[in-house]
Amino acid sequence: MMTADGTTADGTGDGTTGDGTSADVANDLEPGADLGAADLSEVPDSQTPAIWKPTTGTSWQWQLTGTLDGSIDVAVYDIDLFDHDAATIAALQTAGRRVICYFSAGSYEDWRPDKDAFPSSVVGKPLVGWDGEWWLDVRAEEVRAAMKKRLDLAREKGCNAVEPDNVDVHQNDNGFGLTRDDLLSYNRFLVAEAHARGLSIGLKNALDLAAELEPEYDWALNEECLAYDECTLLKPFITANKAVFHVEYVDAPADAPAKKSAVCGDPTIVGFSTLIKTWELDAFRLSCD
């Protein structure tokens, strides 16, 4: 995720009621609905669910902080993997939505329940502007093992897809001297492991890798490519009829209408699913649609 100063990192927030379920979403459940995610651990690869591949123009909402608002009429919700339980995800799906589950794949976060899976040897320099986060050595087996468990959790909760953040570690002062090739390898690892679990997966930012990785990823999610004049780097996804979920940020909701007027007609984002959001990534949204 990207901060107001352009630093990439992730967002946090409880996003739930006390029992981990959004009241707004839980109200959508049908009486007697089966809320448990299917156990696919013993299902042969040939029987895993078909991987969802959203197409260009797919409507969406991205909310990582605050109480989840499940009332928005969109095809896709992107929410935090750890902050929501299987019942919340099932409720969104009962209402006709696909659910993308967010987690950071490239940073150590000291508040996550699986933080002890990361030994100090794989934790590098801090993410500038993001308290409690440090870059990870994504070459390390310990990191990859932890990410497999996060993908297992996404499958167990019933997520349709995953959004692994911070997969551009090589573009940052990470403390390990990671290279572009290291991140190509890591991204391919994530794609293979997600697909093995029947999960769709999107490329988050990392635009220098987009053309090479587009054939392997199912969709893309980008922050601020217009602000940095980089949106053309995502054209391979549009050409392949793969969704590009795109956000441009404002400091306050009051700034959103002017931002919409400035960006939504830009020819470089034709086919994108563009939202105007605040940096908090709460429920507020203004869509270019």
pLDDT of residue 130: 93
Superfamily (CATH H level) for 47-287: Aldolase class I (3.20.20.70)
- Whether the per-residue pLDDT at 22 is higher than 80: the answer is no
SS3 labels along the chain: CECCCCCECCCCCCCCCCCCCCHHHHCCCCCCCCCCCCCCCCCCHHHCCCCCCCCCCCCEEECCCCCCCCCCCCCEEEEECCCCCHHHHHHHHHCCCEEEEEEECCEEECCCCCHHHCCHHHEEEECCCCCCEEEECCCCHHHHHHHHHHHHHHHHHCCCEEEEECCCHHHCCCCCCCCHHHHHHHHHHHHHHHHHCCCEEEEECCHHHHHHHCCCCCEEEEECCCCCCCHHHHHHHHHCCCCEEEEEEECCHHHHHHHHHHHCCCHHHCCCEEEEEECCCCCCCEECC
pLDDT of residue 1: 57
User: For 174-199, what is the mean pLDDT?
Assistant: 99
User: For 112-125, what is the mean pLDDT?
Assistant: 98
Neighbours of 14 (CB within 10 A): 15
- The pLDDT-based confidence of 47 (bands split at 50, 70, 90) is low
Looking at per-residue confidence, does 130 or 35 come out higher?
A: 130
Provide the residue count of the chain.
Answer: 289
Percentage of the chain surpassing pLDDT 70? Answer: 83
pLDDT of residue 268: 98
Tokens of 258: 């002017």
- The pLDDT-based confidence of 245 (bands split at 50, 70, 90) is very high
- Whether the per-residue pLDDT at 37 is higher than 60: the answer is no
pLDDT of residue 34: 34
- The pLDDT-based confidence of 2 (bands split at 50, 70, 90) is low
Report the b/e string of 25-59 with b at 16+ CB within 10 A.
bbebbeeeeebebeebeeeeeeebeeebebebebb
User: For 185-205, what is the mean pLDDT?
Assistant: 99
In degrees, rounded to 5, the angle at the alpha carbon of residue 140 between the alpha carbons of residues 134 and 143 is 60
pLDDT of residue 43: 38
- The pLDDT-based confidence of 3 (bands split at 50, 70, 90) is low
pLDDT of residue 48: 58
User: For 126-131, what is the mean pLDDT?
Assistant: 95
pTM of the prediction?
0.85
Pair 207, 222: CB distance under 8 Å? yes
Each domain of the chain, given as residue ranges in start order, spans 47-287
pLDDT of residue 31: 31
Name 242's Cβ contacts closer than 8 Å, sequence gap at least 6.
53, 54, 55, 56, 214, 217, 218, 219, 220
For the segment 87-97, what is each residue's pLDDT rounded down to a tens digit? 999 999 999 99
Looking at per-residue confidence, does 65 or 25 come out higher?
A: 65
For the segment 258-269, what is each residue's pLDDT rounded down to a tens digit? 999 999 999 999
